[in-house]
Amino acid sequence: MEPIQAKKATSLRAQIYQQLRVKIENGSWEIGTKIPSEKMLCDEYGVSRITIRSAIQQLEALGFVHTHQGEGTKVVRTHAKGSVHSLNPLKPSSLQEDIIKVLEYRMVVERGTIGLAVQRITDEDIAVLEDIFNTMIVSHDDIDAFSKADYQFHGKIAEFSKNPILIQANQAIEEVLSTTMHSIVAILGCALGIRYHRLLIASLRQRDKKACEELMEEHVQTTIDGVKAFLDANGTIPA
């Protein structure tokens, strides 16, 4: 296979992830199949081991594969966790166009979600958010780990709303949210997320509904503005 070249607005990681996912979904790699080693995939696609590992980690996060130490990585399902056929997950080629739409969705939903969560959250729930936040801090130089923790943080807020519809809606578009979260961190870095998540935890701890809602709205709007400015200036999402 010819080495993959980065396409405009599409990271190598996203391209590799999509190609590996296709192998699973079209049956080339059946459930129970041990996928090729990282080295073999590096040779096949002509990319770095970091790129391959990142793509496999995304497949694992979505439930397609599971890695056992000493046994390699095996296919465990052919559809993403929480996927629904009526939703069309973002493909890498449409990511640049649709990332703002996802953020607009988050603007509408997450303000109301945290408004419910702050009224129902427990001290134990806040401790969970603090643990995730600490993971974000120590992962500030690792886009994959940071974006995963960032996604978990927002997912937990939905969970702590104690509203099953909101929780299921989040799970149904898990791939869309996690993919765009990775791109947002790649574009804006980690400092903005750390700042707002620290403020959100403080407001949740104080059970300040108004502050939580306003902070979440400001957080998402600032993200929208930053992503738009970056894309206007650069035209592409960084690999």
The predicted structure's pLDDT at residue 92: 44
Choose among 129, 117, 108, 96: nearest CA to 201: 129
Q: Please state the pTM of the whole predicted model.
A: 0.65
Exposed e or buried b for every residue in 125-150, given b needs 16+ CB within 10 A? bbebbeebbebbeebeeebbbbbbbb
Choose among 147, 145, 160: nearest CA to 237: 147
Containing structural domain, residue 228: 92-234
67 within a domain of the structure (yes/no): yes
Answer whether 142's CB lies under 8 Å from 132's CB. no
**91 SS3 class:** coil
Residues 120 and 69 in one domain: no
Answer whether 76's CB lies under 8 Å from 65's CB. yes
More confident residue, 81 or 160: 160
The predicted structure's pLDDT at residue 4: 54
More confident residue, 63 or 86: 63
Beta carbons within 8 Å of 132's beta carbon, 6+ residues apart: 149, 152, 153, 156
* pLDDT for residue 81 is more than 70: no
The predicted structure's pLDDT at residue 80: 61
Residues 142 and 50 in one domain: no
Residues 51 and 102 in one domain: no
Confidence of residue 3 (pLDDT cuts 50, 70, 90): low
113 vs 161: CA distance, rounded Å: 6
Q: Worst-scoring range by mean pLDDT, 20-24, 68-72, 149-153?
A: 68-72
Residues 28 and 128 in one domain: no
β-strand pairing of 72-75 with 65-68: antiparallel
Residues 68 and 125 in one domain: no
27-65 per-position pLDDT tens digit: 899 989 999 999 999 999 999 998 898 889 888 877 789
1 within a domain of the structure (yes/no): no
Residues 68 and 96 in one domain: no
The predicted structure's pLDDT at residue 7: 45
* pLDDT for residue 8 is more than 80: no
Mean pLDDT calculated for residue range 167-178: 83
User: What is the CATH number for 167?
Assistant: 1.20.120.530
**What is the average pLDDT score of the chain?**
86
Residues 169 and 199 in one domain: yes
